[in-house]
Amino acid sequence: MSRKFVRFFAHLAAMVLFLSGMVYGQKIKPDHTTRVRPDPSIKAMINEVSAKNIEGTIRRLVSFGTRNTLSSQTDPNRGIGAARDWIFAEFQRISTGCGGCLTVEKQTFTQPKAARVPQPVEITNIIATLRGSTDPDRVYVVSGHYDSMCNLDATDTTCEAPGANDDASGTAVSLELARVMSKRKFDATIIFMAVAGEEQGLLGSTYFAKQAAEQKMNIEAMFTNDIVGGVTTYKTAPDRQTIRVFAEGVPSNETEDEARERRSVGGENDGPSRQLGRYIKEMADIYSPLFKATLVYRRDRYGRGGDHIPFLERGVAAVRFTEPHEDYTHQHQSVKMVDGKQYGDLLEFVYFAYIANAARINLIALANLALAPAKPKEVTIMTGKLTNDTELIWHASPDRTVAGYEVVWRETTAPFWTHSLRIPNYFFVARPNVPGFHSYTFKEMSKDNYFFGVRAVDRHGHKSPVVYPRPER
């Protein structure tokens, strides 16, 4: 039988199934969890992540003695300048390995005096961009901070500040992902980044996020890896094979009107960053059965912050990756021995195999995001009529890679999406009064009793994160 015939019958069968589903309304038996056939190219990339390379990066970064943002910019061996130049050269070397596929830049700015900046100082972010092939204006950012500090006074520029965990580990993740992912093509653009000034008050990431917002860069997701070293003192902890993903619920940049609307109908658990967190966990569960992503429903740990925050404040969905247990004797501490106990963020307290797993979770999420179509836009739940039917509408994506959409739902008390229904593109009926939109109606399934969402899917099964609908009368 020719391929054309096979395809015709497949479509016919799908149509019959779909129409019977429409007739029986919610009696359709949806997948309990959204099923994805793992993509072999993503599996191959997972295997290419190397703990050895990560170890090499961290050893090198630690060898600069201190990477305090206020330390020497010109000494070739010690200080932040030496680290900056080495990271820049590494990204360039990776780019040479892929035929110049990365654009590697130093983004330098002068930071004026601030709380932890006694004199104006130059701060440099290193940015390596892998341009997307079909949708280059859609951008994903993965970042770590390469600056370090030794004790509670972030302005001490001469003390030993190895910063092996905080945050050579996160910087090593950015470099390793660039090495592995630059050998492939993705629909969307990926930026691999190492920023400075984090310990001085998120200065490098704030500058980048501000510039990106001014240039109207469409960043659909941002990851910061900060303290992903898998500290060795917790090597035998029962939840060792996990990484925490901190994802806020209510958006940091929510307006008063949005807050009012949210209070009236819920949605505190459904902001874009929370959806991104769910996505990371969902993809990690599919591709990484042994090492898990644990979603934490908060922006960050108590009293702490990270480079995702300036992005959140500008409306970008962003999460923070951090090891499951932290050992505060090896963070922001001077290197010292007290009563036979070693303090300091030293090389010997990070675990390279753990960091490789952390990198793999990042890779799984990033690759799926950048291979999938963009999130559906203008997703709306119609609330004008008192009815037990639920109507969702969303903008018909102009992206030719979109093969269809998936509507998802869950009980209002459920933490994750529990049900989904795949709707191929060709079944859509454009709303007659709203051209360019798709709609789907759940018969006798009340919007008051469930949370709903919509995501886009391509023909290989790559999925976008879920978009939670805005109510409209």
Shortest distance (Å) from residue 147 CB to Zn ion: 8
Q: Is 345 in the site for Zn ion (CB under 5 A)?
A: no
Cβ distance to Zn ion smaller for residue 296 or 403: 296
Q: Which of 55, 90, 147, 167 binds Zn ion (CB under 5 A)?
A: 167
Shortest distance (Å) from residue 274 CB to Zn ion: 23
Q: Is 187 in the site for Zn ion (CB under 5 A)?
A: no
Return the range that interacts with Zn ion (CB under 5 A); candidates 5-13, 225-233, 278-286, 307-315: 225-233
Shortest distance (Å) from residue 384 CB to Zn ion: 48
Residue with tokens 């992902």: 177
Shortest distance (Å) from residue 332 CB to Zn ion: 9
* Bond prior to 167 in cis (omega within 30° of 0): yes
Return the range that interacts with Zn ion (CB under 5 A); candidates 34-42, 43-51, 164-172, 318-326: 164-172
Task: In whole angstroms, give the CA distance from residue 32 to residue 30.
Answer: 6
Return the range that interacts with Zn ion (CB under 5 A); candidates 92-100, 125-133, 204-212, 219-227: 219-227
Cβ distance to Zn ion smaller for residue 226 or 406: 226
Is the sign of the CA dihedral 35, 40, 41, 45 positive or negative?
Answer: positive
Shortest distance (Å) from residue 320 CB to Zn ion: 10
Q: Is 166 in the site for Zn ion (CB under 5 A)?
A: yes
Q: Which long-range contacts (CB under 8 A, 24 or more apart) does 324-328 make?
A: 324/234, 324/237, 324/239, 324/240, 324/242, 324/243, 324/244, 324/294, 325/231, 325/234, 325/237, 326/227, 326/231, 326/301, 327/231, 327/233, 327/234
Count of other CB atoms within 10 angstroms of residue 185 = 15
Q: Are 330 and 233 in contact (CB under 8 A)?
A: yes
Q: CB neighbours of 105 closer than 8 A, spacing ≥ 6?
A: 126, 127, 128, 129
**Tally of helices (H runs) and strands (E runs) in the chain:** 10, 17
Cβ distance to Zn ion smaller for residue 129 or 169: 169
Helix (H, G, I), strand (E, B) or coil at 63: coil
Shortest distance (Å) from residue 437 CB to Zn ion: 44
Q: How many residues bind Zn ion (CB under 5 A)?
A: 3
Return the range that interacts with Zn ion (CB under 5 A); candidates 7-15, 135-143, 220-228, 250-258: 220-228
Q: Which of 55, 226, 391, 458 binds Zn ion (CB under 5 A)?
A: 226
Sheet with 437-442, strands from edge to edge, namely 437-442, 390-395, 380-382, 470-472
DSSP code of 376?
Answer: P
Cβ distance to Zn ion smaller for residue 350 or 379: 350
Between 169-181 and 40-48, two packed helices, what is the crossing angle to 10 degrees?
130
Shortest distance (Å) from residue 418 CB to Zn ion: 35
Nearest-CA neighbor of 455 among 340, 370, 396, 375? 375
Shortest distance (Å) from residue 145 CB to Zn ion: 6
Binding mask 362-401 for Zn ion (x = CB under 5 A): ----------------------------------------
Binding site for Zn ion (CB under 5 A): 166-167, 226
